[in-house]
Amino acid sequence: MQNAKHWNRDESRRFSMTCASCLNFVLSALFGYRVLIQKPWLFRREEWLPGEIHVAADFKFYYLLYAARFIGDLVSLFFESRQMDAFVAAFIHHLVTLGLVLGSAHARLTRFGGVIMFFFDWADIPLLCAKACKYLSEDPQDILQIIANRLFEFFAVLFFATRCVFFNYVVYCVWMNPSDTRIFDWCKYLLLILVGLQTYWMALIVRMAVRISKNGGVAEDSRDDDLRKLSNANAHNDKPKIQ
């Protein structure tokens, strides 16, 4: 097709990684919903208190799966092309999250962990869908770009609600409970690091929203700039483009 979008190898790789990540988050969010929505303590703050001895088998499996996922994400970071600031932030996030999953399991804080896991994955889904639509878009004014913009707006609202409001509330609830072990103390401080990271990413989202307003309503991911420059600089070394 004459008007079909031409992709080089790097663009194809990024699109496939975005789709794979989106599928991963969708499955994780749906599985978490299936496991946790039936728990009577999920929306009852007074029942989040530490000290639960028996953990249901499905919840335990979800906890182990969550830990395994972040171990995989942590390793895969070293095989991805990222800007240094994005790499450092993602590395700290994955390491802290893994520490929280394992630490909360040891300190019998799994209900706090389950509440956080329940809503944490949902915001990433519209963002990744927006990126996929942007990769498929052939013109800044076509329908796919419009969908990408709306998805980004939905992502920004969802991120703020889940990561900057509800998550902070859960962290506040954790800090209101007296620590009875050193691991509990570590989990509290790891949560504060995670709050800082979410605040940092919220600032990036606001900056991106400002860029969109100045860019005629076109959503851009500033983290892809270096990859795009590298791709353009090495275009003569690319294999035949995919149509």
Choose between 38 and 85: higher pLDDT.
38
Which letter does DSSP use for residue 239 in this model?
Answer: P
The predicted-structure confidence for 10-49, as pLDDT tens digits, reads as follows 778 888 989 999 999 999 999 999 999 999 899 988 888 7
* Res 123: pLDDT: 92
pLDDT at residue 234 tops 50: no
What six digits make up the tokens of 217? Answer: 């309503």
* Res 78: pLDDT: 87
The predicted-structure confidence for 188-233, as pLDDT tens digits, reads as follows 999 999 999 999 999 999 988 888 777 765 555 544 443 344 333 4
* Res 92: pLDDT: 93
Q: What is the mean pLDDT of the chain?
A: 83
Element (H, E) at 135: helix 124-136
- For the full predicted model, state whether its pTM sits above 0.85: no
Under 8 Å CB-to-CB from 4, ≥6 apart: which residues?
A: 138, 243
pLDDT at residue 239 tops 60: no
Under 8 Å CB-to-CB from 182, ≥6 apart: which residues?
A: none
Q: Give the least confident one: 13-27, 79-93, 123-137, 178-192.
A: 79-93
